[in-house]
């Protein structure tokens, strides 16, 4: 958890890890990012390649500073492929599907294949979104995650369940991957990280309120952070 969120850190002082989200249109990618950042950042959706970049810089309890860039698409996924700039130097990918639409789950294979063609070893976390629509879904397992040895998290961008936990795991994973990119057994490490944290559904709601605190904090600082337009390379 961050003890302090840093606003407007100078670009030259930043050394961000990069998180990306992939998945079909309307699975809730933007809503997840929005929920995590809790109105702190106002997304600006315009650029050559229709990508939006959010800065999120914070200080951890141990004093370590972590700078994060969260990249979101602005609808480019409708065309079933993303501009290579999206994948460039990404450190962790959240693969999102909509539990109410089976096709979005099936298409994870397609997104994985595209991702791997750009970032062969990037660690991924699978997010089963919209669990608010059917609470029983958390008892289901999803073969895709097992097959690819990826952690699976049940989330709801609508009510906030597990959203903070999802991004915190993604950030931890990204930081670990950047430190040790060629380590083959990274996914094992990721699974270990998740096991240590293991958010229950009640603690996930605690995560939601922690996020609310974060939003209040954002209000104090008042300038709303920044969302950057991305110029493709
Ligand atoms: N019920 C429910 N609806 C959601 C959830 N997340 C997103 N949505 C809705 O799904 C639609 C698409 O969300 P959006 O974030 O734009 O999807 P994106 O295209 O993947 O970025 C919107 O109408 C959201 O309100 C969720 O967790 N639960
Ligand atoms: Mg979107």
CATH classification at residue 87: 3.40.50.300
Ligand 1 centroid from CA 20, angstroms: 17
Q: Which atom from ligand 1 is nearest to the alpha carbon of 72?
A: 21
Rounded Cα gap, residues 2 and 153, in angstroms: 21
* 10 neighbors 65 (Cβ within 8 angstroms): no
Residues spanned by the domain of 19: 2-230
Q: List, for residues 69-127, the tens digit of each pLDDT value.
A: 999 988 888 888 888 889 998 999 999 999 999 999 999 999 999 999 999 889 999 99
Substitution candidate for ligand 1 out of 26, 45, 71, 96 with most atoms within 8 A of CB: 26
pTM comes to 0.79
- 214 versus 138: which is more confidently predicted? 138
Rounded Cα gap, residues 113 and 108, in angstroms: 8
Answer whether 29 contacts ligand 1 (Cβ < 6 A): yes
Give the number of domains in the chain.
Answer: 1
Nearest bound ligand to the CA of residue 43: 2
Q: List, for residues 34-67, the tens digit of each pLDDT value.
A: 899 874 544 444 444 567 888 888 888 899 999 9
- 148 versus 225: which is more confidently predicted? 148
Q: Does the structure show a pLDDT above 90 at 156?
A: yes
């Amino acid at each position: 958890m961050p003890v302090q969120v840093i606003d407007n850190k100078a670009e030259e002082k930043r050394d961000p890890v990069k998180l990306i989200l992939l998945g079909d249109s309307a699975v809730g990618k933007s809503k997840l990012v929005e929920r995590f950042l809790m109105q702190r950042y106002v997304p600006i959706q315009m650029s050559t390649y229709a990508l939006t970049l959010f800065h999120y810089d914070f200080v951890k309890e141990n004093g370590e500073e972590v700078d994060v860039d969260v990249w979101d698409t602005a609808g480019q996924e409708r065309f079933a492929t993303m501009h290579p700039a999206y994948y460039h130097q990404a450190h962790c990918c959240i693969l999102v599907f909509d539990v109410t639409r089976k096709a979005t789950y099936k298409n994870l294979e397609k997104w994985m294949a595209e991702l791997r063609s750009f970032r062969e070893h990037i660690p991924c976390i699978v997010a089963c979104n919209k669990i608010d629509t059917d609470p029983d879904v958390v008892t289901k397992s999803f073969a895709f995650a097992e097959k690819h040895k990826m952690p699976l998290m049940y989330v709801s961008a609508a009510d906030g369940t597990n959203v903070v936990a999802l991004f915190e795991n993604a950030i931890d994973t990204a930081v670990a991957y950047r430190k040790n990119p060629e380590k083959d057994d990274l996914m094992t490490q990721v699974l270990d990280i998740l096991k240590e944290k293991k958010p229950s559904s009640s603690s996930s709601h605690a995560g939601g309120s922690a996020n609310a605190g974060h939003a209040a904090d954002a209000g104090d600082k008042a300038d709303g952070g920044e969302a950057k337009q991305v110029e493709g390379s």
